[in-house]
Amino acid sequence: MTILRKIMNSTLNITYLTLEGHLEKYRYVYFLICLIVLMLIIFCNVVVISVIYTNKPLHEPMYIFIAALLFNDLFVTAVFYPKILTDFLSEKQIISQGGCLVQTFCIFTCSGSEFALLSAMAYDRYVSICKPLQYATLVKMSTVKKLLFFCWFVPSCEMGISIILSYRPLCKFKLNRIYCNSSIAKLTCGDLTVVNLYGMIALPIVVCPPVMFVIYSYIRILHVCLKNSKEFRRKALQTCFPHLFIFTTFSINICFEVINTRFEGNVPHLFAMIMSVQNVVICPLLNPIIYGLKLQEISKRIKRMFWKRNTHIFVN
C-alpha cells in the first residue's frame, strides 16, 4: 500500500485517462441497474457474513473460508461501484493515472485472492470427505489463518510488481474500458517486453495451481463418493455443489476477461463491456445467494434471523 500511495502522490502534474468503454445511450438506466445490484450485493454479503460471525457453531474452517470469500467480494465491490456510478452521472468519464493503477491493483488482487480462496475451500472439502479422521489435525485454525494470509498476500505481491512495471509515462490517454485493468500498460511509452513477459509468467502462476488443485480434489472426492452410500453422496454433493458451481462460474468469467483483454478491438463493444464486468458483478452477487440457500446450516439461521425480527415487529 505504501507503493500505491507514492504512485498517487508522486507527481504534481497528474495525468488523466479517459474511459471510453461506456455506452452513452441509456446511461441513467445503467446507473439505476448498477445501484440496485450494488445494494443487493451489500445486503446479501453482509447478511451471510453476519450470520457466520454471530453463530459460534459456524466458526468452523468451511464457514470461515466462505466469510473470507464474501469479504473479498465486498472489497472489490467498494472499489468498482462508486467510480462507475459516478461515471454514469458524469459527462466525461476520466480517472487519474495513479487512480487507474490503484483500481487495477485492487480489482485484480481480489480476483487472484478469489481463486486462492476457492482453492483453499476445495482443500477443506477434500480433507473433510476423503480424510475425515485426519480433519481436525490437517485443518486446524492455525492452518486456516496461514491459508487466508497466503490467499491475500501472494496475489497482492504479484499484482504489486505488475503495477510497478506499468507505472511509466503515458503516450496514449484513452482506455477503451469502463474501468481500469492491465490494458493501461499498452498506453505507456517505451518497450513493453518486460511487462508482457511478466504477465505471461504471473497469470499462469495465479490461475493454474488453483485450477489444477480443485480438479484434483474433486476427482478424489468423486472417487470416494462412488465407494460410499447414496446418503453419503447426497451429503457430499450438498456441501460441494455450491463451491464447484461458484468456481466454474468464476473461472469462465476470468477466461472472458483474458480473452477480452488479449483481443481488444476485435470484439463487439456491447459484448466486450458485458464480459469485462462479469467478475465484479456476477460472483459478488451469486456467492452469498448460492451459499446462503444451498448450505443448510447457513440458510436455516438466516431464516431464523428474519423470522425472529418479523415476529418481534408483529408483536410490537
The pLDDT tens digits of the residues spanning 228-286 come to 888 888 888 778 888 888 888 888 888 777 777 766 656 666 676 777 777 788 889 88
Residue 296: predicted pLDDT: 80
**Are 162 and 198 within 8 A, CB to CB?**
yes
Give the number of residues written for the chain: 316
Percent of the chain, pLDDT > 90?
23
C-alpha cell at 57: 457453531
Residue 87: predicted pLDDT: 85
Burial class (CB in 10 A: 0-12, 13-18, 19+), 313: exposed
41 confidence band (pLDDT: 50, 70, 90): very high
Lowest mean pLDDT among 10-19, 30-39, 109-118, 279-288: 10-19
**Are 291 and 249 within 8 A, CB to CB?**
no
Q: How much is the mean pLDDT over the chain?
A: 82
Lowest mean pLDDT among 46-55, 129-138, 288-297: 288-297
**Are 272 and 264 within 8 A, CB to CB?**
yes
pLDDT for 313 beyond 70: no
Could you give the domains of the chain? 2-10+23-305 (1.20.1070.10)
The separation between CA 91 and the C-alpha centre of its own chain, rounded to angstroms, equals 29
Q: What is this structure's pTM?
A: 0.85
pLDDT tens digit string along 201-229? 888 888 888 888 999 998 888 888 888 88
Residue 149: predicted pLDDT: 94
